[in-house]
Amino acid sequence: MLTKSPFLKSFFFLIIFLILPFQIFSQEEFYVMPMPREIKRLPGKFVICEDFGIKISGPISKRVIKAKEKFLSRLSRRTGIFFSLYPKKFSLNLYYRKTIKLSPFMDESYTLKINENKIEIISETDIGILRGLETFLQLLENNGKVYFFPAVEIKDYPRFPWRGLLIDVSRHFMPVEVIKRNLDAMASVKLNVLHLHLTDDQGFRIECKTFPRLHKIASDNKYYTQSQMKEIIKYADERGIRIIPEFDIPGHTTSWIVAYPGLGSLPVSYKMERFYGVKDPVLDPSKKSVYKFLDKFFREMAKLFPDPYIHIGGDEVTGKHWNENKEIQRFMKKHNIKDNKELQAYFNKKIYKILKKHHKKMIGWDEILEPYMPKDIIIQCWRGKETLYKTAKMGYYTILSNGYYLDLLLPASTHYLNDPIPENTDLTETEKGKILGGEATMWAELVNSENIDSRIWPRTAVIAERLWSSSGIKDISNMYKRLEKINLYFEDLGVCHIKNQEMMLRRLCNSKDISVLKEFIGIVEPVKYYNRHKSRPYTIFSPLSRVVDAAIPDPSFPRYFNELVNDYLKTDNKDLENKILGILTKWRKLHNKLTQLNSNSPLLKEILPLSFNLSKISELGIEAIEMKNEGKIPEQKWLSEAISILKIAKEPHAELELAVVHSIEKIIRSFFCKN
């Protein structure tokens, strides 16, 4: 009866009407990422001053104590405020009920309330406090006079429990400080899993006391000592991040076999792999000694790594060496193993038991998915999203990496829209529950410690948002707006994605003056997918110091220019036209300037074809706008030449592409090719 009352009905709609737009609007106006599940602006603001105390109410948690110190120093550094050593009042109150051991289903929720006089973060666990502090810091604003926090009320919790980043430290080793600064950045966007791809054909990167030849012979002396790894694990734990070690077996194991040839499937002499690609060396699954070795190996690693999960890789086994080994063929016949896929499954089941013996659970790439595997393993899907759904339907836990491959150098927006559970899914609620989240993957064939940050950040922040925030938060332009601000915050944590680009440009120019090259690099992108490998055979020693290595995926200026063009074509506004003409005029001159720079910088030679094409298409753009303004229609010859110049300008050079060709093309086509 109640719901039928017209009064109540209108009242209900009134409430909806008042609340809904308010919430949507308010989410957009906050420059935070990932966007909290619920956020409400309240009247007023909390102005920061010297007398700023933090009170911790909860059981002793080293994480919270460290996070408090770190928070104060970050806030102080950003605002320049000299906080009182002995504050008189507690402005920020942290309440939590318990400290926990990190685990895949830990409670990370929190509420955050800011009003004019005080701030409260309340959570069930100490991890919730860490998450809340990161949101809080992102809310910082200023009005030119003071820094302040807007009064808000936030209720927040993650959509998926498994939100990770994989760093491949095998193809290029990443020193401890690279891992640490990336852990800080991960924590700042609430990621909670760092998956370290520790072994591969090109290098074995963790000290192994049981089998020391692994790190001594098969790492080029680049590996984490166990004491360094403990340091990393502790550092991660303090930030609420789990470390998942990956030991990729049975394929991707050249390094293992170089150190211990008895592990391999062929009795030949193995050499460290210096090139990239899918290689044939593979462990011999027919030998008892191999399992004995792995048993001892995992016993040691199970002690070193505290997480309940160990990743066993399992991807890209070519099977070639298995086919070539008669013993293995005999073994397969004897055990009634039909093919290499079944042989790998046999191997996996053995490994599963070894891990279980050492109290660890198994994760692996989607190749290890077999219906007869126990249901407590996790499948990491990289080859396609279909596998993800299939896995969930088969009743296995699963995480998504397909669509989150950072090394493909795709725009942030692509990753952003890659939802593990899209709206139109046919999965049941139970099946949905099997999808634990996802992991961005930073494969390291073509990155080193100088430029890895620029591949991970800021793009990984939008993946973090996809995995934390509501599925409904997916406005691309708002995402980019927020990303621009958050992007600078990573620098406070030591991330080098911006500053190392400038350093690389100084090296390329042999000069402190990089203005010209900086303009150029802002409008080019490295070629996408695996196309860089097509241009030349890279090895682990190849220099990653060329223009393509300094260039970043998804640069912002081409996006800005494209919006400018869209607005201009919609409105024919003269101001916009002048802006566009100004930009095109600058671009037209870039080629000559770069040619000059080249006289003290041999490495710029390879980009001159690009700048030449840029000057050509900029010229076209200018001519097109002039003709339009004069009411002229170009001759067919001009037009067909223009089309062919634009086509040429789309071709990559020096593993780079111009990222503004389509915008200039749009101007020309919109003026003269309407039909």
By CB under 8 A, how many residues form the interface with a copy of itself? 56
Q: How far is the CB of 437 from a copy of itself (least distance, A)?
A: 31
Q: How far apart are CA 515 and CA 330, in angstroms?
A: 66
Nearer to a copy of itself, 63 or 360 (CB): 63
- CA dist 302 and 313 (Å) reads 16
Is the N-terminal amide bond of 34 cis, ω within 30° of 0? yes
Q: What tokens appear for 249 in the block?
A: 């077996």
Cα–Cα dist 542/550, whole Å: 15
Q: Hey, which residues between 451 and 510 contact a copy of itself (CB under 8 A)?
A: 484, 488, 491-492, 496, 498-500, 502-503, 506-507, 510
Query: Which x/- pattern, by CB under 8 A, does the window 115-144 give for a copy of itself?
Result: ---------------------------xxx
Taking the complex as a whole, the smallest distance from the CB of residue 573 to a copy of itself amounts, in Å, to: 23
Interface residue with a copy of itself among 57, 103, 117, 225 (CB under 8 A) is: 225
Binding segment for a copy of itself among 158-166, 224-232, 283-291, 399-407 (CB under 8 A)?
224-232
Helix (H) or strand (E) run with residue 166 in it? strand 162-168
**Smallest separation (angstroms) from a copy of itself to the CB of 175:** 7
**Which one, 81 or 427, has the nearer CB to a copy of itself?**
81
Q: Which one, of 117, 142, 110, lies nearest residue 36 by Cα?
A: 110
For residues 115 and 595, which CB has a smaller minimum distance to a copy of itself in the complex? 595
Q: Which stretch binds a copy of itself (CB under 8 A): 76-84, 378-386, 608-616, 662-670?
A: 76-84
Q: Which is nearer to a copy of itself, 111 or 202 (CB)?
A: 202
> Under the criterion CB under 8 A, does residue 542 sit at the interface with a copy of itself?
yes
H helix count then E strand count, the chain: 26, 19
Sites for a copy of itself among residues 55-74 (CB under 8 A):
66, 72-73
* List 546, 559, 588, 653, residue binding a copy of itself (CB under 8 A): 546
Q: From residue 561 to residue 600, what is the string marking binding to a copy of itself with x (rule CB under 8 A)?
A: -------------------------------------xxx
Distance CA 71, CA 137 (A): 8
- Alpha helices in 139-260, H assignment, sequence order: 176-188, 213-217, 226-238, 254-259
- DSSP 8-class letter at 240: T
- Stretch near a copy of itself under the rule CB under 8 A, chosen from 2-10, 192-200, 544-552, 563-571: 544-552
Selected from 82, 105, 375, 630, the binder of a copy of itself by CB under 8 A is 82
Rank residues 557 and 671 by Cβ distance to a copy of itself and give the closer one. 557
Torsion sign across C-alpha atoms 61, 64, 67, 69: negative
536 binds a copy of itself (CB under 8 A): yes
Question: How, if at all, do strands 147-156 and 141-142 pair?
Answer: antiparallel
Integer Cα distance of 257 and 5 in angstroms: 77
If we measure between CA atoms, which residue out of 254, 244, 137, 257 comes closest to residue 195?
A: 244
Say how many CA atoms lie within 13 Å of 665 toward its Cβ.
Answer: 16
* Cβ-based nearer residue to a copy of itself, 212 or 472: 212
* Minimum distance of a copy of itself from residue 508's CB (angstroms): 8
DSSP string computed for 245-257: EE---SSS-HHHH
Instruction: Indicate the residue type of 619.
Output: E
Per CB under 8 A, the list member of 37, 274, 320, 589 interacting with a copy of itself is 274
Interacting residues with a copy of itself between 140 and 179 (CB under 8 A): 142-147, 175-177
Active site residue 324: no
Tell me how far apart the alpha carbons of residues 263 and 114 are, in angstroms, rounded to a whole number. 59
CA 362 – CA 566 distance, rounded (Å): 50
Supply the minimum distance, in Å, between the C-beta of residue 19 and a copy of itself: 32
The residue within the footprint of a copy of itself, chosen from 323, 477, 511, 573 (CB under 8 A), is 511
Cβ distance to a copy of itself smaller for residue 478 or 601: 601
- Binding test (CB under 8 A) with a copy of itself, winner from 26, 109, 470, 545: 545
Shortest Cβ 456–a copy of itself spacing (Å): 17
Query: CB of residue 482 vs a copy of itself: minimum separation in angstroms?
Result: 14
Q: Given candidates 193, 290, 516, 544, which one binds a copy of itself under the rule CB under 8 A?
A: 544
Q: Which two tokens stand for residue 174?
A: 């990443």
DSSP label of 283: B
Q: How far is the CB of 503 from a copy of itself (least distance, A)?
A: 5
Q: By the 8 A CB rule, do 138 and 111 touch?
A: no
Which of 57, 103, 535, 539 touches a copy of itself by CB under 8 A?
539
Least spacing, CB of residue 274 vs a copy of itself, in Å? 6
Burial of 214-234, coded b for 16+ CB within 10 Å and e otherwise, reads bbebbbeebbbebeebeebbe
26 binds a copy of itself (CB under 8 A): no
Residue type, 277: G
Stated as kind and residue range, the H or E segment containing 47 is strand 38-47
CB neighbours of 11 closer than 8 A, spacing ≥ 6? none
Closer CB to a copy of itself, 223 or 247, in the complex: 223
The distance of closest approach from Cβ of residue 449 to a copy of itself in the complex, given in angstroms and rounded to an integer, is 8
Contact (CB, 8 A) for 192 and 238: no
Q: With respect to a copy of itself, which residue has the nearer C-beta, 244 or 597?
A: 597
Considering the complex, what minimum distance in angstroms separates the CB of residue 542 from a copy of itself? 5
Judged by beta carbon, residue 221 or residue 636, the one nearer a copy of itself is: 221
Number of alpha carbons in the 13 Å side-chain half-sphere of residue 492: 21
| 83 lies in the binding site for a copy of itself (CB under 8 A) | yes
Count of other CB atoms within 10 angstroms of residue 603? 16
Is there a contact between 361 and 379 (Cβ–Cβ < 8 Å)? no
Please tell me the distance from the alpha carbon of residue 572 to that of residue 578, in angstroms, as a whole number: 11
Give φ, ψ of 527 to 5 degrees. -60, 150
Question: What does 398-460 look like in DSSP terms, one character per residue?
Answer: EEE-TT-BGGG---HHHHHT--SS-TT----HHHHHHEEEEEEEE--TT--TTTHHHHHTTHH
Site for a copy of itself (CB under 8 A): which residue of 76, 109, 413, 531?
A: 76
Does 631 interact with a copy of itself (rule: CB under 8 A)?
no
Smallest separation, CB 1 to a copy of itself (Å):
56
Q: What does the DSSP 8-state code read for residue 380?
A: E
Among 77, 333, 432, 481, binds a copy of itself (CB under 8 A): 77
Q: Give me the catalytic one of 153, 316, 491, 577.
A: 316
Closer CB to a copy of itself, 374 or 537, in the complex: 537
Residue among 174 and 193 whose Cβ is closer to a copy of itself: 174
Calpha distance 543→210 (Å, rounded): 34
Catalytic residues: 316
Site residues, a copy of itself (CB under 8 A): 66, 72-73, 76-83, 85, 142-147, 175-177, 221, 225, 227, 231, 274, 484, 488, 491-492, 496, 498-500, 502-503, 506-507, 510-512, 536, 539, 541-546, 598-603, 605
